[in-house]
């Protein structure tokens, strides 16, 4: 279940996502807010914000969890599915608001898919 009470931890975390347009890893948030919020709380608040359709999560290329703001999702309807991009030079991760067509696969039912693209971002590309 999502967030019920407005607390300081929630404000601090939401603020990080206001300041930043890119995705932020849970590990990085723990570092950034080290002195202010306990890591258990960070994981729990992120989880709740995801339930509420405020954030969405995905795994980066080495398996760590990243979070980014949702566009137009609600507690009941999560519709903001899209690929993610990880820059191999600077490490930046962000959402790609493009549609990639997943082909039909014979005899299989496709329910979800996650696409992680790696390469060089705007600033790092030659």
Partner DNA sequence: AAATTTATTCAAACTAAGTTGCATTAATAA
Partner DNA sequence: TTATTAATGCAACTTAGTTTGAATAAATTT
Longest dimension (CA), the chain: 52
- How many residues make contact with Zn ion (CB under 5 A)? 6
Helix (H) or strand (E) holding 48: helix 39-51
Tally of CA atoms within 13 A in the half-sphere of 52 that contains its CB: 15
Shortest distance (Å) from residue 33 CB to DNA: 9
The 3-state DSSP class for residue 32 equals: helix
Q: Which does 43 bind (CB under 5 to 8 A by kind): Mn ion, its own copies, DNA, none?
A: DNA
26 within 8 A of 46, measured Cβ to Cβ? yes
Select the residue interacting with DNA from 9, 22, 80, 92 (CB under 7 A).
9
Considering only residues 10 through 39, tell me which ones interact with Zn ion, judged by CB under 5 A: none
CB closer to DNA, 41 vs 92: 41
- Give the residues lining the site for Zn ion (CB under 5 A): 87, 89-90, 92, 121, 124
């Amino acid at each position: 279940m999502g967030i019920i009470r407005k607390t300081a931890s929630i404000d601090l975390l939401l603020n990080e996502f206001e300041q930043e347009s890119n995705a932020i890893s849970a590990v990085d948030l723990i570092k950034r807010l080290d002195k202010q919020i306990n890591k258990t709380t960070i994981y729990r608040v992120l989880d709740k914000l995801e339930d509420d359709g405020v954030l969405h999560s995905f795994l980066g290329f080495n398996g760590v969890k990243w979070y980014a703001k949702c566009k137009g999702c609600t507690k009941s309807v999560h519709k903001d599915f899209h690929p993610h991009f990880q820059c191999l030079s600077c490490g930046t991760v962000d959402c790609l608001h493009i549609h990639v067509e997943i082909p039909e696969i014979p005899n299989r039912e496709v329910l979800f898919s996650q696409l992680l693209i790696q390469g060089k971002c705007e600033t790092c590309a030659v």
